[in-house]
Amino acid sequence: MAGKLIMIIRHAEKPLPGNPALGVDEFGQEDDKSLTVRGWQRAGALAGLFFAPPAPLRVPKSIVASGVVKKDGTGSRSRRPIQTITPLAQRLLVDPDTRDSKGQESEAAEDIVKQPAPVLVCWQHESIPALAAAIVGSTQIAPDGGDDEDYSSIWLLLSEESQKWSFQAVQEFLLPGDHP
């Protein structure tokens, strides 16, 4: 695959609004800003998927996750994106870039395109369309939203030598019940 490949995933499963106690941190402690047990299962499965991925996926040379807080100290405080990619980052011996946070999609896009490719990005789903648009410089290339229950889609942005971007969505199919 020629050009620059950016693979974007949503963070793994989070607690339901009515039951925040289902979130647990990496030490098993209750934390509503962390993944659910199923989310931790997905994080582990992603480490296997991206370690030896099928085409059109590739082993990432760079990993980016939305940070817990913005540079100004504000932010969602969600630890889910970094928790989702940590098992893979550890397996690949790659230090994830978490300098940008949700709400900083323009800044993140500038940083992401400078990363060695292929790049894997993990972000909050409601901001992924804005992030993709900022990366490619157009709102016309990717969907403008997604299913709140979809944790298994991978957005692929590929820049050819001509700097023209293309979009493709593929499915992980890692856990029972993943979206077709």
CB 63 within 8 A of CB 85: yes
pLDDT of residue 75: 64
> Tens digits of per-residue pLDDT, 107-159?
999 999 999 999 999 999 999 999 999 999 888 888 877 778 899 999 999 99
Domain ranges of the chain: 4-171
A 10 A CB-CB count for 10 gives: 26
Confidence label for 84 from pLDDT (cuts 50, 70 and 90): very high
pLDDT of residue 118: 98
Confidence label for 71 from pLDDT (cuts 50, 70 and 90): low
Residue 43 has pLDDT above 60, yes or no: yes
Average pLDDT over residues 79-96: 98
Confidence label for 65 from pLDDT (cuts 50, 70 and 90): very high
User: In the chain, what's the furthest Cα-to-Cα distance?
Assistant: 49
Q: Which CATH number fits domain 4-171: 3.30.70.270, 3.30.930.10, 3.40.50.1240, 3.40.640.10?
A: 3.40.50.1240
A 10 A CB-CB count for 116 gives: 10
pLDDT of residue 133: 94
> Tens digits of per-residue pLDDT, 159-180?
987 678 999 999 999 999 997 7
pLDDT of residue 2: 58
Residue 1 has pLDDT above 50, yes or no: no
Residue 50 has pLDDT above 50, yes or no: yes
What 106-111 contacts at long range (C-beta under 8 Å, 24+ apart), as own/partner pairs, is 106/134, 108/64, 108/66, 108/134, 109/134, 109/135, 111/64
pLDDT of residue 147: 78
